[in-house]
Every structure is written in C-alpha cells, then in structure tokens.
Amino acid sequence: MSDTVAIDALPYYDRGYDEPGVREAAMQLVQEEMQRYRPTKDYLENLPSVDPNVFLSDMMINEMTRIKDKKQMELLSTERYNLPAPTPGLRHDPEAWIQAVKNSQAQLQHQLVRIENLRLMEEYGSEAWLKFNDILNKLVTDAQNKLQSLRKEIQEVNWQRKDSQQRAGQKLNELEKSWATMVAKNFEIEEALLKIENDKALLKSGRHVEKQFNTGSASPKRFGF
C-alpha cells in the first residue's frame, strides 16, 4: 500500500470542531501518528553521514571542547604590552638589553599603527559607517519585500484552499442530498413492491377461495342440499 495520506478534512467548510469530544479525538489521532516515528534526539541521523567538525577551525573545536568541559576561559594576556627590563641576573648581558630594546620598538610600532588606524577611522570612518548602514537598510528592505511576497503567496494559497474546500463541500452536500433522495426513493419503491406483493398474495388467496366456493356450489350434496 502507498504511504500517502488522503486528507479528507475540510477545515474551511466543516463545522462542529468546538463540539465536546472533537478535540480529544483529534489529539488521539495526533498521538497515533506520532507513534509511527521513532523518538530520537538526533533528528539528522537519517541524512548522509557528514563529519560536523569539517567546517570548524582548530580554535573553534578547542573552544567548544572547553565549553563542554565547563572550563574557564583564559584571560586576555597583556604580557605583549609590557616593556620588561632584563632580569637582575641579566642586567650586564648586552644580548638581554638588545631583546628588550627590540621589544620596545615593536610595541612602539604597534602603537603607531593604532594611531594611524585611528586617523584613518576619523577621516573615512563616518563614510564607511554610512555605507554600511546603506547596505543594512537595503538588506532590511529586501527582507521586508521578500516577507511581503511570502505573505502574499501564503494568503493566495489559503484563498485557493478555502475556495477549493468550499466547492468540495458544496459538491459533497449535493451528493449527500442526492444520496438521501435516492435512498428515500428506494425505500418508497420497496414499500410499493411490498404492497404489490401483498396485494398479489391477497388477490391470489381470494381467487383460490372463490374457486373453492365455485367448485363447492357445483356439488350441492357437499353442502347438504
């Protein structure tokens, strides 16, 4: 048998959904339908097996593992922003001082880059922000237009369903009335046939009695004459 389900409900036309027991019967049908599906937490198990980590970077995997293990997030390290001098044991080591100077130069260059970024942001940031806002407004407008289009399509589908169900309901009413009329006519025909059969039986019985009477009158001795 096919697994397709024939929908025989006409919610736009049928009445009586608020009557007692209708909701309970509907919920029972829903429960019976739910019993056909195996309960599972993995609703993607029927799809082809794909490693979900294939789209994750190592940093994301490590972070998800940390969250799963309920470990605290490491604090932001500020060591790179410090300018430590050589340790007391290396105060007289030229190489240690060279590394300290290189570290300070790197920090200075980093700050210069930040200052340059701030200047660029001050000069072009407002225009870039306005451009970004324009893009966001366009995305919002496109999304709203798409939403309106979908709502219109949904409304059109609902109107088509309503019209189809109303026409189907009227057709069903006509067929039900026609069926009731035919049943009534069949009942009348059966009654008429039954009456004819009874009349036939009575007529046949009357003829038999009349025949017996006529036969008896032809023999007077039978009646004591």
DSSP 84-95: PPPPGGGTT-HH
In terms of residue numbers, what domain contains 183? 139-210
Write out pLDDT tens, residues 181-218: 999 999 999 999 999 988 888 887 776 666 666 665 54
- Residue 180 belongs to a domain: yes
Write out pLDDT tens, residues 24-73: 888 888 888 877 776 666 666 667 776 777 788 888 889 989 999 999 88
Domain count, the chain: 1
Give me the pLDDT at residue 39, please. Answer: 61
- Residue 81 belongs to a domain: no
Contact 82, 103 (CB under 8 A): no
Say whether pLDDT at 222 is over 60: no
Q: How far is CA 127 from CA 17, 51, 153, 224, in A?
A: 60, 43, 39, 139
Write out pLDDT tens, residues 103-123: 888 888 988 999 999 999 999
Say whether pLDDT at 131 is over 80: yes
Give me the pLDDT at residue 6, please. Answer: 57
